[in-house]
Structure 1
Amino acid sequence: MPDFHFIESGSDSASDTLLLFHGFTGTHQTWLPFLESWSETHHVIAMDMPGHGQTEIQDDLTMDRFTDDVAVFLNQQGIAAVKLLGYSMGGRAALSFATRYPDRVSGLLLESASPGLRTEEERLARQKQDEHLASRLETDGLVQFVDFWENIPLFDTQKNLPEPTRLSIREERLSQQATGLARSLRTMGTGQQDSCWDKLSYLDKSVVLVAGSMDHKFVGINQEMEKRLPAADLHIVAAAGHCVHVEQPRIFDKIVRRYLLHNEADILEES
């Protein structure tokens, strides 16, 4: 049985539940700045992903098994379907869940996410990269890994954030266990996940895609996803990199409230 650590906000009697998946090195705390806003109309659940925070991870976990565990978790909570929001790694997981359990997803928002790698060759190469990172975690320890991780090009735009915000992100990363992150890379890393590219055209749901304008790689990925999805709504947010919800939180909140939570009072100003 799955044993996810999670927090919840809002009324259990709310007609809709919003389920939140954070990214690699994050926890449920990623979403704390938004809970008051989103729980005005929804029952919100923010979970620690496997290997992160207080959710343990097994060596034999796979992305498919994770999605099965989420389905069991929803059954335990008495929830038939959710609106699902995922960031980065959490976005890959959210998309995987939506393609395997489409009847259990009533809305989907993917932030800086991808459907995985297309070819076996690409996946094998990424597995080697992720194994190198996992070994680095185990050998060098968490602090040295975080020093390295926060300086990879993907997060260059975060260096312009206010110091309290940067320190909060670092504190969240340092709250992890090196063994948990290493197992996450080996079991739920991009190289381990089957490609969802061919499944996009069959995902007959409204999907909201969000990418930062300065995250050129993921802008390209999401533009291609938009073409393949039957009903996609792509938002490219100006002056943001990979982590839109941190770099442009006000705009991200408006996108979520208007397009996922259907609060028509929110008017967007994305540029």
Structure 2
Amino acid sequence: MKTMINGVRYHVEQYGDGFPLVLLHGFTGAASTWKPFCPIWGNHSTLLMVDLIGHGETESPGDTARYNIKKATDDLKVLLDQLEIEKTDMLGYSMGGRIAITFASMYPERIRKLVLESTTPGLENPADREARVQQDQKLAMKIETEGLEKFISFWESIPLFQSQLNLPKEIREQIRSQRLRNNPVGLSNSLRGMGTGAQPSWWDKLTTFDFETLLITGELDDKFCKIAADMASKLPNAKHLSIIDCGHAIHVEEREKFGTIVSEFLSNT
């Protein structure tokens, strides 16, 4: 479905029946990321698969300020209001996980259960934030100067995604094809507007999350395993699972296992 939210036309796909589950993809991703999980999760949840601002079929405004992570998060609140959903489960991967944490920090009363895959509440140190802003600015300029195809080839090759080289060629080609359907303006503005450096640090908010939270990381992804362990030590009601022989994108590399883990977590009351 298409819906206007705060002046931006959003694309949202709905599937299944049950308690709502909002699904938030990562940078360069799209709602279609979650399609393989429809058969299993749709049995117990109404899936709301959102193309985040600047991604997929959702509009890509030219104004970088519109991509501010708090504004992108408020868009989700408006979506829930439009659908008359008072409380929801939420699952976010990487960038989508940062938006999920932002949502849980801003609107904790709207969350029943939270699933966070390979993500972070942000950077606590202002100097680290500034360095990351500069890094993301360079990436945004890379998209603008070299074009989308070259950038996606570069993005696929970064160490974070090396373990995906072991995936079947057909799946790797599907992921590449989906990434290339994005709007370069949307991707560069997402980096500038809601990159890890541009967003607030939500570390101090974690102690207030009284809902069940599941943290999932791949054991080969050292950086995010450590972040998740640090998060788990602050969250009052969290479980951290590290998946063996797996990198950053568990939902891609260990699809069946990921689907089952999430399904069991959401189904247990």
Give 1:57 deviation, angstroms. Answer: 3.7
| Contact 2:60 2:185 survives alignment (8 Å) | no
* 1:166 alignment counterpart: 172
Does residue 74 (structure 1) correspond to residue 74 (structure 2)? The answer is no
Deviations 1:141-199 (Å, cap 9, x if unpaired)?
A: 00000110000000010011111111111111111111110010011111110001111
For 2:152, the aligned partner's letter is: V
Name the SS for the 1:113 alignment partner. coil
Deviations 1:19-63 (Å, cap 9, x if unpaired)?
A: 000000000010010011111121111010111001124421211
For 1:222, the aligned partner's letter is: A
Does residue 30 (structure 1) correspond to residue 36 (structure 2)? The answer is no
Provide the aligned C-alpha RMSD in A. Answer: 1.1
Give 1:262 deviation, angstroms. Answer: 2.7
* 1:41 alignment counterpart: 44
For 2:74, the aligned partner's letter is: D
* 1:139 alignment counterpart: 145
Does residue 87 (structure 1) correspond to residue 87 (structure 2)? The answer is no
* 1:17 alignment counterpart: 20
* 2:254 alignment counterpart: 248
Superposed structure 1 runs of 4+ greater than 4 Å apart: none
Does residue 117 (structure 1) correspond to residue 123 (structure 2)? The answer is yes
TM-score by length of 1: 0.94
Q: Distance in 2 between matches of 1:235 and 1:137?
A: 34
Give 1:260 deviation, angstroms. Answer: 2.2
* 1:206 alignment counterpart: 212
Stretches of structure 2 that go unaligned for 5 or more consecutive residues are none
Q: Distance in 1 between matches of 2:268 and 2:117?
A: 17
Name the SS for the 1:4 alignment partner. strand
Q: Distance in 1 between matches of 2:105 and 2:91?
A: 14
| Contact 1:208 1:260 survives alignment (8 Å) | no
Stretches of structure 1 that go unaligned for 5 or more consecutive residues are 264-271
How many residues in Structure 1 have an aligned counterpart in Structure 2?
260
For 1:72, the aligned partner's letter is: V
| Contact 1:4 1:48 survives alignment (8 Å) | yes
Q: Distance in 2 between matches of 1:5 and 1:123?
A: 31
